[in-house]
Amino acid sequence: MFDDRTDAGERLAAELEARDFAVDVVLGIPRGALPVARPVADALDADLDVVVARKMGAPQNPELALGAVASDGSVWYNDDLIDRVNASEEYLEEVRAEEADNAREKADRYRDTDDLPDLQGQRVLLVDDGVATGATATACLRQVQDTGADWVGLAIPVGSPRAVDDLEREADAVIALETPADFRAVGQFYRTFGQVSDEEALEYLDRES
């Protein structure tokens, strides 16, 4: 159990330091990842910024992720789940376009542009507060890989074993402190797991809303 996201970030930072990780940029996935990413960036003496993606929910069940789309339009689809719920191509394109717009708006809110910083030749570490399906993390990883970054990794306090296995095929490295067999939801492993507001998340970036 982690006390809260800051505690998780401090533990994650200690693990990365112990492994002698060196990165140039840490990217948090807003909003919940920013309290985790801040201690990691500080420990690794790296710049902290954000990468944004949005889940694409299923018909009648928006919490069920059929995939995710990043602010640059990079998309990942869960084909097995799409087949299972029989989502149409028209529905997928509609929700993809809507959530891509939402992702761009959120990216613009956090850095006044929906473009990522210049990551050409950089070692980049994505950080999230945990992964359940891995949909959002996958879309974010693909967006960063398209920038010409030299190395792209992912660090999380906790994740489902299946999602972590899938993400290991997407990233150059995945560091997960815990991959419990009884994983049901990320919040299950935090004593405090409240919503993080945009205003609070921006404070971790030292930016004003």
Give per-residue pLDDT as tens, 101-115.
998 888 888 876 667
Q: Does domain 5-52+112-204 have CATH number 3.40.50.2020?
A: yes
Give the rounded percent of residues in the chain with a pLDDT score beyond 70: 97
What percent of the chain has pLDDT above 90? 64
Chain centre distance of CA 55 = 11
SS3 content of the chain, % helix, strand, coil (to 5): 40, 25, 35
Contact status, residue 109 vs residue 198, Cβ threshold 8 Å: yes
In the chain, CATH 3.30.1310.20 covers 54-110
Mean pLDDT of 182-202: 90
pLDDT of residue 113: 65
- 179 falls in which pLDDT band (50, 70, 90)? very high
pLDDT above 50 (res 23): yes
Q: Please say if the pLDDT value at position 79 is more than 70.
A: yes
Instruction: Give domain 54-110's CATH number out of 3.30.1310.20, 1.10.10.410, 1.10.10.10, 1.25.40.10.
Output: 3.30.1310.20
What pLDDT, in 10s, does the model give residues 95-153? 999 999 998 888 888 876 667 888 999 999 999 999 998 988 998 999 999 999 999 99
Give the pLDDT confidence score for residue 172 in this predicted structure. 96
Omega before residue 162 within 30° of 0, cis: no
**Residue 112 to residues 37, 108, 109, 165: CA-CA distances in angstroms?**
20, 4, 6, 34
Q: Please determine, for residue 209, whether its predicted confidence score (pLDDT) is greater than 80.
A: no
Q: Within 10 A of 123 (CB to CB), how many other CB atoms are there? A: 18
State CA 131 to chain mean position distance.
8
For residue 208, pLDDT beyond 70 = no
Structure tokens that stand for 7 in this block: 């505690």
Q: Is residue 206's pLDDT more than 80?
A: no
Give pLDDT, residue 108.
Answer: 84
Name which of 140, 143, 129, 153 is nearest 25 in CA terms: 153
Between 200 and 28, name the one with better pLDDT: 28
Identify the pLDDT of residue 114. Answer: 62
| Rounded average pLDDT over 18-42 | 93
Candidates 166, 143, 175, 168; CA nearest to 23 is: 175
- In this structure, which amino acid lies at residue 84? R
How does 83-96 read in b/e, with b if 16+ C-beta sit within 10 Å? eeeebeeebbeebb
CB distance 29 to 140 below 8 Å: yes
